[in-house]
Amino acid sequence: MMQKIETLFVDLSDWFIAWLQSLGVPLAWADGILLLIQFLCIVGIILVNITILIWLERKVSGFIQQRPGPNRLGPFGVFQTIADALKLLTKEDIIPSKTDRWIFLTAPILFMTISVMLYIVLPMGKDMQVVDLNVGLFFFISLGSLTTIALLMGGWGSNNKWSLLGAMRSVAQMISYEIPLALSLMGVVMIAGSLRLSDIVAAQDNLWFVILQPIAFLTYLISATAELNRGPFDMPEAEQELTAGAYTEYTGMRYALFFLAEYTNLVAVSALASTIFLGGWQGPWLPSWLWIIIKTYLVMFIFMWAKWTFPRIRMDHLMAFSWKVLIPVTLVNIVATGFGLYIFKGIGG
Amino acid sequence: MLSTERLTINIGPQHPSAHGGLHVEAVLDGEVVLDAIPHVGYVHRSVEKIAESRTYAQFVPYTARLDYLGTHLPVIGYVQTVEKLAGIEVPERAEYIRIIMGELSRIASHQLFIGSLAIDLGATTGLLYCMRDRERIMDMFEMTSGQRLLAAYMRIGGIAEDLPAEFIPAVRSFVRDIPKMIKEYQGLLYGNEIFQARLKGIGKLSAEDAIAYGVTGPNLRACGIDYDIRKAEPYGIYDRFDFEVPVGSKGDAWDRLMVRNEEIIQSGRIIEQALEQMPEGEIQAKVPRVLKPEKGKSVYHRIEGAKGELGYYIVSDGGEKPYRLHVRAPSFVNLMALPLVSRGGLLQDIIVNIATLDPVLGEADR
Amino acid sequence: MSTQQAVFEDISKTWGDQIEVLEDQYFEGVKVPCKILPEIFQKLRDEHGFNYLANITAVDFQDRFELVYHIYSIPGNRKLLVKADVDHDQPLAPSAVAIWPTADWQEREVFDLMGIRFEGHPNLQRILLPDEFEGHPLRKDFSMKG
């Protein structure tokens, strides 16, 4: 019975392909249609998750701050996000006349598109990945870097000094923290011997990588917080003098799209952390796709906890921290991992 | 070729961290602040002119709206000035109650200072913890005067009403909890490295500059000058209490925070002693229904407000309304130090400097 | 450090009969002619240690304006009141900014609300009222009716 629930989605897609083939559709086309459906499912998952996340963030921040959080709409305020989304949809869409129109309009769409593309390689359960690239991890990190372009487009297209300033700061921050992000993951890659995400999960059969690479986990979390522009690294966004930084000139749904994209990134990054450090979909008794959900939410809770507890780091401290502290630490981690592996293999491990 | 130009950014007056209607014009060269010019006057309500058409007793509620975060302190300053002018002696019990109310107001004001500093730096949770603790003081004020924030509880010659029965146990329990409260702030805020990195060494004000620019209160004491009006020129019955005046050393934002933090503890000590020494008795002196002080007399009386030296200058012409009333507002004078501490610093530090100089615009603009 | 007595003696010695000593229960002081204010302030700050100017204000007595200065010394906490009369039709007084920088905004406020101009002030503009405002509200002849 548990086995059936476990392989539910895999069985469904197998049956779907068999059914299409029986209708006379060639295999390549059937695969293509399945891919499309999987993509739509991903979009669906993202939207559901974001809805839950926004509510969760407000509730968690409320409890940390000794207040109830949303509690009017629905039991425990669960319909709050829907109400907010409806409100945003009805807002007037203002496009300032002096903006560089195409860049201005494309920026949020690009941001969201890239964030959605990150989910293609994430393993959401045993054998449940849209595409199991053999350079999955590399693909993920590279795409993550592209988001800086979307931000810069937003700031530049607004044709506003302060937006540009905010966007440039964001980009500087994100570029600086990508290096420790990637380097933290190198230790894991060295031990697992592969960039394929399903291999990395399989390599954690006996021991989760968080135990073998605790420092990498920590630096990954810190770098990811900076990448996501979340507190305590949200200086470019929450900087009160520069209003909302790169997002200043955006209104209504476009503004919401930026924040939705940020939340999408949050889920993706947390899912990656669970995959690489916390054993992915492995876990006793419960089906695999449930385990990955639980672990992802656990990591997201840590991100939220950090945001609502710490004050903001000043821009120059932020850069200094990345270049002078995080990068050396991650490099040392790689060297130590190398030594460890060498000795491990030497003693016949 | 590349040329640099100076940027002028306006911070406020509508702004989450403008502390009221404060407008700061920041002139920048890249990230470095060349000048930070404060513009006040957005909350000017011509209180001094109004005073000339109100009787002395009618003016009491207006004073509460000056430093609205220090609830009772500006009111105490005003009624004491009028008592000096008219030669009224306040009964003992009323004096003690004034001390308790004044020190509770000081604690409330400093708690709000810590909370708003936390939220300006991004630690939103800090604000809510401080507000939660401040609620206890607000409840105590409501017990006595019916008003939480702008209580006109003082009268010329004493107090409006005597304390209800549940007040003293509430005050005792609050004072007992002060060390626990401070420990919580220590854990959440002061002990945090990010918090410290944003405050230590920022916004240094030298002692000579502070005195020359008329900065008073915790800002002056943070620079190392031991000057507290409660000790230097005791008013009311402050000379009967044993308390210390916390003094900083470097005059930076961190010292300004720590001085205020320590003052909360010292105010707790004063309240404890006041509770012990308070006698029973009258709460209001015999004051004529319409007070007419002597003609030609003028008095300047100052108290240690939560922000600094709060002074009132009243000139009487023998009538029932003051001929001239002037309020010496500490926030107005303290704001003159903002350009001094901000020059040469970074843009983000202007917010820190505004927050740690602790201006209240109601007082600065009157 | 001088005692209050010594201060009065010193000032009287220099300016003699231009000074009027004001006895008061709470705040002793001197009344001086407006034009010698800068010299008196210089002497008070440099020789007698009055380094803290707490308050500048003005009173409109309808035939004259009266400027009031409250000065203190930190540490030591001696205090001195200085009053000076200013002409009502052409209100002009010397600025104290060079001696105590704190006079900057306080003199601007007196100018803004009372209309007394201060010679030597680096930036004598309105501070509390809007720049375009006409009139000086704290004067007794300012019409309060619409």
pTM for the full predicted model: 0.86
Backbone angles phi, psi at C57, to 5 degrees: -150, 170
| Mean pLDDT, rounded, for B259-270 | 93
- In terms of Cα–Cα distance, which of B306, B338, B344, B268 is closest to B12? B338
- Diameter over CA atoms, chain C: 53
CB contact under 8 A, A240 and B351: yes
Residues of A in contact with B185 (CB under 8 A): none
CB contact under 8 A, A312 and B122: yes
| Mean pLDDT, rounded, for A216-240 | 82
B313 pLDDT exceeds 60?
yes
CB contact under 8 A, B365 and C75: no
> Can you identify the CATH homologous superfamily of domain C4-101?
NADH:ubiquinone oxidoreductase Nqo5 subunit (3.30.460.80)
pLDDT value, residue A105? 85
Picking from B125, B197, B198, the nearest residue to A64 by CB comes out as: B125
pLDDT value, residue A159? 80
The CA distance from A292 to B138, in Å, is: 48
Picking from B7, B16, B195, the nearest residue to A311 by CB comes out as: B195
A87 pLDDT exceeds 70?
yes
- In terms of Cα–Cα distance, which of C137, C69, C19, C127 is closest to B313? C69
CB contact under 8 A, A312 and B121: yes
C11 vs C69, higher pLDDT? C69
Picking from C26, C74, C77, the nearest residue to B211 by CB comes out as: C74
| Mean pLDDT, rounded, for A335-343 | 90
What percent of chain A is modeled with pLDDT above 90?
10
> What token pair was written down for C53?
């100017």
Lowest model confidence (mean pLDDT) among A150-164, B4-18, B115-129, B330-344: B4-18
Is B touching C (3+ C-beta pairs, cut-off 8 A)?
yes
The beta-strand segments (E) located in B22-66 are: 23-29, 32-39
The CA distance from B306 to B134, in Å, is: 15
What digits encode the pLDDT tens for the residues B214-231? 899 999 999 988 889 898
Residues of B in contact with A316 (CB under 8 A): 31, 346
Distance from CA of C60 to the nearest CA of B (A): 8
**Predicted confidence band of residue B16 (pLDDT cuts 50, 70, 90):** low
**Predicted confidence band of residue B7 (pLDDT cuts 50, 70, 90):** confident
Looking at chain C, which residue has its C-alpha nearest residue B363? C128
What digits encode the pLDDT tens for the residues B91-114? 999 999 999 999 999 999 999 999
Range of the domain at B323: 7-365
CATH number of residue B160's parent domain: 1.10.645.10
Element (H, E) at B311: strand B309-315
Identify whether B1 is part of a domain. no
The secondary structure of chain A in percent helix, strand, coil, rounded to multiples of 5, reads 75, 0, 25
Identify whether B361 is part of a domain. yes
Which residues of B make CB contacts under 8 Å with C?
40-41, 44, 46, 48-49, 53, 84, 211-214, 225-227, 232-233, 298-302, 309, 311, 313, 315, 323-324, 326, 328, 332-333, 335-336, 365-366
CB contact under 8 A, C129 and B44: yes
B35 vs C6, higher pLDDT? B35
CB contact under 8 A, B122 and A311: yes
Identify whether B103 is part of a domain. yes
**Predicted confidence band of residue A324 (pLDDT cuts 50, 70, 90):** very high
| Mean pLDDT, rounded, for C7-26 | 77
Q: How many domains does chain B have?
A: 1
Looking at chain B, which residue has its C-alpha nearest residue C83? B298
Is A touching C (3+ C-beta pairs, cut-off 8 A)?
no
Identify whether B293 is part of a domain. yes
pLDDT value, residue B177? 92
C-beta separation of C66 from C84 below 8 A: yes
Q: Model ipTM? A: 0.91
Q: Where are the alpha helices (DSSP H) in chain B?
A: 47-51, 60-64, 73-86, 92-121, 124-145, 167-185, 193-199, 207-212, 218-222, 229-232, 253-277, 330-334, 337-342, 347-357, 361-365
**Predicted confidence band of residue B2 (pLDDT cuts 50, 70, 90):** low
What digits encode the pLDDT tens for the residues B175-219? 999 999 999 999 888 888 888 988 898 888 888 889 999 899 999
